Each structure stands twice: as structure tokens, then as C-alpha cells.
Homo-oligomer: A and B are copies of this chain.
Amino acid sequence: MRNLDHIAVVGVTGYTGFELARILVRHPAVKASTFYMRDTQGAKCLDELFPQLRGRGDAPLQTFSAEAITASKAGVAFLATPHDVSTELVPALVEAGLRVVDLSGAFRFRSGETFSDWYKLPAAPEGLLSEAAYGVPEIYEQQIKDARIVANPGCYATSVILALRPLTDANWIAVGSSVICDCKSGASGAGKELRRDLQFVEVDDNFKAYNLFSHRHTPEILEHTGLDESQVVFTTHLLPISRGILSTIYVTLDASHSREGVEALYRKFYAGRSMVRIWRAGSLPELQHVAHTNFCDIGFALDKSGRRLVIVSCLDNLGKGAAGQAVQNFNHMLGIEEHTALQ
């Protein structure tokens, strides 16, 4: 019998995995947790490899294998693994009765073809893809509660979808008009892979656009806003900071709206939601407000015609954009307060 409060956390080497570990070692509803990585370098506890975790308990560390995880009593597995590893691992875990929160891109699309087109990798079985819940709890709470597989969204995608969804659900965007998503992210979003362009000297004092018309989070945005590919331009930039995404989104409204009307639309959509904060009309969130938190903060400005809307959406790419949202999804699976361990 598996226990939902026994967890396995797989892949704690990267920035997302480490952030997951940092949150989960003090999650009050977790009774037992085991951390897995490919090469434990002989370490038995997490804090031998991550001295900054010392004094926060002695979380056991093990070499990663599907067998080790399925042999445990863990009821939930968090996967902060590469896309192809998740594709391979999830079927075995689900088969063995675990529920999974997967932070890779492997289960984010209903269509395996979409995944393969954008990631150039074989897709998971269509059956599993179609049953996976897309892990934005503000939108898909019901599916997440009962899901065997939660596909934790991309960081940019979370930021953009939360900003656009109130408008698309209300059909406020002028038909066929351009939706420009100009997004900026700190360097931890690119992961911990050793890359020349992520060395300190290359990022410091620098700023650049990258992956124009080709970023992998594009299909997530299209699928979960219902906008057409020809309508959306999604551009990403690298900020010389470690954490945080700020998306500036340009929309043409179908008709003239008031600032009060726009604010009301957003407030209603996110009523009762603890992790999305709507800013008063005329004020705008900044990255500093959300760094090291699980909040997504949304503000906007409207021109005098009432038709040109600029939305600013901020989150911490390791928080609400990855590990924090994974834990928020987990909380829904457990049926506890969604912000548990996230404040």
C-alpha cells in the first residue's frame, strides 16, 4: 500500500531539483521523503552534497533507478529529470501505483507529435499523454486532484497562460489580432548544463533575445489559451539575474474597456486563489515582489482608447514557474491547502 505522504524526489542535481528539495525537506504533510540522483558521489544524505541544507534535517539520498523507487512505499514521485528520462520512467512508476508530478516537457502535450516536433525526441505513449493533467491549478484543479500524472508546465508558459486566460475565456481579444508576448527570464531558467553562454562573464552586464519563433514553450501557450499560432509572437530574453520571469504581453481588445472592467475580469477569474495576485489598475508588479516566492503577480496598463492592453506578469521561474508549482500541484493531490510549505 502506497502512502501519498511518502515521496520520492528524482533528479536533485539541477536548479529545479534543488529548489524542490529545499521546499520539500520542510513540507509539514510529508512523512517520509527519499531523494534520488544519478551520481550520489558516495553521499548518503542530501546535505553532504548541498551544505546549505545542513541543519534542515538529514534527508536520505540514493542512486536513482526505477526499481529503487517502485520498491519503496512512496505514493508520489516528483521528477526533475531530462525529458527523455521522464518519458521512460513515468510508465513504470504509474504501473507500480505511484502518482507522478513531472517537471520535464514529456507529458505537457496531448499529442505525441507536438512533443516530438518541438523536442526532437520520441514521445510517451498516447494513452498516458492524454490522461496527464496540465499542472496549472488555477485552471485545471479538478483534473490535478485525481491525476495519476501531472505535467508541470514550462516557466514561461505559466507566466503567459495565467496572464492571458482570463481574456481568452471571456473572448475579449479582438479576433485575429496579434498577441505579442515579450518575455524575460533569469539565468536559472536555462538549467544547470555547462554552456559557454551561461558562464558568468557572458551573462553579467548583458541582455539578449534568443530562440525567436522557435521556443519550446510556444505549443503550451497555444494549447492552453486557444490562440492561433499565426496570432501569437512569443519572444524570450535572458536577464542578468538568477531568478525570475517578467512577461510583457500586448493585446488588442475586441472593444473599448475601462481599467475597472479589466481589473474586475482578472479579480473574478482568480477569486479565492492564494497564489495569483492581481495588482490594482495603474500599478505594476516587479520581479523583486515575487523572487523566492510561489506567487504569480499580474498587473496591466490600458491606453486611453481602452483597446490596447499591456499585461505584466511576474513569477519566480524556480517557484511558481517550476518547483513551487509542482508542490502546489502535490498539495491539491493530497487535498490540503494549496499554499502549504509555499509561504
Contacts and interface: CB of A to CB of B under 8 A. Distances in A.
A205 B304 contact: no
A239 B239 contact: yes
B279 A207 contact: no
A49 interface: no
A154 interface: no
A201 B192 contact: yes
Given A241-B240, A244-B207, A52 B188 contact: no
A40 interface: no
Interface string A56-73: 100000000000000000
A237 interface: yes
A235 B310 contact: yes
Contacts of A237: 184, 246, 248
A218 B291 CA distance: 31
A65 B199 CA distance: 29
Given A180-B180, A248-B209, A291-B205, A277 B55 contact: yes
Interface in A199-217: 199-210, 212-213
A104 interface: no
Interface in A21-71: 26, 51-52, 54-56
Task: Count chain B CB atoms within 10 A of each CB in A55, A210, A230 and give the residue with the most.
Answer: A55
A51 B205 contact: no
Contacts of A194: 194-196, 199
A285 B192 contact: no
A286 B199 contact: no
B240 A343 contact: no
A142 B188 CA distance: 44
A108 interface: no
A15 interface: yes
A160 to B, nearest CB: 14
A233 B250 contact: yes
A255 B287 CA distance: 38
A242 interface: yes
26 contacts: A15-B201, A51-B279, A51-B285, A51-B289, A54-B277, A178-B178, A178-B252, A180-B182, A180-B250, A182-B248, A184-B207, A198-B200, A200-B202, A202-B288, A204-B241, A205-B243, A206-B288, A207-B239, A207-B286, A208-B246, A208-B287, A208-B288, A212-B310, A213-B304, A235-B248, A240-B240
